[in-house]
Structure 1
């Protein structure tokens, strides 16, 4: 089915709730509640990993809530809203999967030609005709 740009569509709940299969390009329409995304920091040997719940629309949170969330993530008291936004943004970006992270290394034209057995000429050199026998 072909849709016009900006047309709405439904993503099944089982697909949306599975973080590995959720379409990264999909956005919620205005007025619908944004799902909460549970983000967990990398575990180190000294303390267990704690899960932080960061709403998908965290930019719309009040300043006090953003500072509190940034304080939880960093483990330090965050005073300025701009610093809190940087901490939350960096934390959320660090946990997103890398786009095309598993893509193979690019090939050069020469490598591709070697892989298919060489370059086939687009013409045949003239030679004496060979008689055809049946």
Structure 2
């Protein structure tokens, strides 16, 4: 999956995407230029995002919250540890670290319950009946 950001409002995967919204596109769609949405850009630094893989929790590298305040040499060392290759420039290191942090963020609402219909919610709340149904047996109206 390739993480992208919408540059304008667009439609992808049965969803309307707002400008600035980040989402993922399957690799096979991203690699096919004809199928790739023209209104998206890679999230973060283009080269760094493609190089960074999402790692399992056991392999995660701990990134300090104030990594931007670290010295250039420390940031280059951290980026080298993330990418597995030597990083010589601090701006490149910053892009790699940003992409790594973004790629390893937990998805929002991962543990959210399944959506309910109104009827399911009413049943769970005790089966509230609408106020227009009279209690008891229905009685025919005589004219």
Taking structure 1 as the reference length, what is the TM-score of the superposition? 0.44
Higher strand share: 2
Taking structure 2 as the reference length, what is the TM-score of the superposition? 0.42
Larger radius of gyration: 1
